[in-house]
């Protein structure tokens, strides 16, 4: 459990830092445009931070079990079959994230030779959020599968 707590704290702090920098950059961009000056690179940086914040935040949502769930059909099953359904669905989600991670890594590596127009930063850095988030998500789903998966979590996630 120690590794999981460390990863969650690191992800949380990465999200906090990213949203703080994003807020500062957008505020700076608005202020400078008020004086008829547009700071170069702020749009590219804000786009990069939004992409990373979205993907890292989705991994945290998986850990916290805050992702969207439709439980209407799950609740139609008897209690003993809900656990089986829970495991099967999570195995499918892990397979999806494995494919996403693999192809996200391939996409980010192929885009590393391209650079952004203003900051001359590799485009692959934005795409790298996909496999990084995929790995975190796979880990958190696996931890949730090995942990206690109760029917109550399905009832609370509306």
Confidence class for position 106, pLDDT limits 50, 70, 90: very high
Q: Tokens standing for 119?
A: 């900051």
**pTM across the whole model:** 0.84
Q: Residue 49: pLDDT above 50?
A: yes
CA dihedral 119, 121, 125, 126 (to 10 degrees): 30
Rounded-to-integer distance, Cα 97 and Cα 117, Å = 31
Mean pLDDT for 33-38 is 90
Cβ atoms within 10 Å, residue 118: 13
Q: Where are the beta strands (DSSP E) in the chain?
A: none
Q: Lowest-confidence range among 19-23, 88-92, 95-99, 135-139? A: 88-92
Q: Residue 151: pLDDT above 70?
A: no
């Amino acid at each position: 459990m120690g590794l999981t707590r460390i990863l969650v704290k690191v992800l949380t702090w990465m999200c906090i830092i990213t949203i703080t920098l994003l807020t500062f950059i957008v505020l700076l961009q608005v202020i400078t445009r008020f004086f008829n000056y547009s700071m170069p690179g702020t749009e590219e940086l804000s786009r990069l931070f939004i992409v990373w914040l979205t993907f890292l935040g989705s991994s945290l949502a998986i850990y916290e079990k805050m992702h969207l769930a439709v439980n209407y059909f799950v609740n139609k099953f008897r209690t003993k079959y809900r656990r089986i359904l829970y495991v099967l669905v999570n195995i499918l989600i892990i397979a999806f994230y494995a494919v996403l991670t693999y192809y996200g890594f391939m996409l980010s590596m192929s885009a590393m030779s391209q650079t952004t127009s203003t900051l001359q930063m590799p485009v692959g850095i934005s795409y790298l959020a996909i496999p990084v988030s995929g790995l975190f998500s796979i880990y958190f789903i696996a931890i949730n599968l090995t942990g206690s998966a109760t029917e109550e979590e399905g009832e609370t996630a509306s």
